[in-house]
Amino acid sequence: MRKYLFSMKFIITLSLSVFCCFCTIAQEKEAPERSLLEAPEDWRKELLQLPLGFAPELNYKGIEDVRFSKGWGNKDSEEFFTYTFAWYLDIDPELSSEKLNKELKIYFDGLMNAIGQGRNIPKEKITPTQASLIDDSKSNSFKGEVKIFDVFFTQEVITLNVKVSTSYCKPAKKHIAYFEFSPQGFDHKLWDTMNKIRIPCN
């Protein structure tokens, strides 16, 4: 029993350490206190200032609101690596499929290389990101997949299905880009949960 409790404590500590590592490497400035997305209560959250420390080439100014599914850090969970984030920007990012493919590569290459460096993973071992999204002009959204090297858990290339949608909040005068990621197929119930996450406009 004592061995089991020790194992559980170790797993919980490791998961929290990995999550905190993700958050710390992303954030160099003090983040705002108010949450912006309305997501399930058991999804962990983090608010970051843009531009991000690991991807300064993405020269946006604003806030990134990140939400991690309950099973994000458990590779045996159906929620593994499922998370979302929204960018709240003062200017229109003018996203296109071509621009998104470039910016998602910058985002994940920067993140994985930064985390990998902290874990002494040689940079040459980290496979560069490949993003392939297409646009849906009818719904003002984008859909596709991103292949990333997972330095957090598996140290292997994994494929994340991704959706990106954009909107404008007139009362706040903010442009919003909402990103959804999961290894699960688009027909999985997790996407219903992510699609129900609200983005209040006030």
- CA distances 55 to 72, 108, 176, Å, are 22, 8, 19
Residue 17 pLDDT? 43
Query: Does residue 77 belong to any structural domain of this protein?
Result: yes
**pTM listed for this prediction:** 0.84
Cβ atoms of residues 177 and 93 within 8 Å = yes
- What would the pLDDT profile of 82-114 be if each residue is shown by its tens digit? 999 999 999 999 999 999 999 999 999 999 999
Of residues 110, 102, 100, the one with CA closest to residue 164:
100
Query: Does residue 90 belong to any structural domain of this protein?
Result: yes
Structure tokens of 173? 């005068």
Query: Does residue 122 belong to any structural domain of this protein?
Result: yes
Give the helix/strand (H/E) hosting 146. strand 141-149
- Based on the number of CB atoms within 10 Å of its own CB, is 61 exposed (0-12), middle (13-18) or buried (19 or more)? exposed
Cβ atoms of residues 184 and 192 within 8 Å = no
Q: Which domain holds residue 132?
A: 2-195
- Banded pLDDT at 139 (limits 50, 70, 90): confident
> What's the half-sphere exposure (Cβ side, CA atoms, 13 Å) at 44?
16
- Banded pLDDT at 136 (limits 50, 70, 90): confident
Query: Does residue 200 belong to any structural domain of this protein?
Result: no
Query: Does residue 58 belong to any structural domain of this protein?
Result: yes
Query: Does residue 38 belong to any structural domain of this protein?
Result: yes
Query: Does residue 71 belong to any structural domain of this protein?
Result: yes
The number of folded domains in the chain is 1
> Does the pLDDT of residue 1 top 60, yes or no?
no
Query: Does residue 25 belong to any structural domain of this protein?
Result: yes
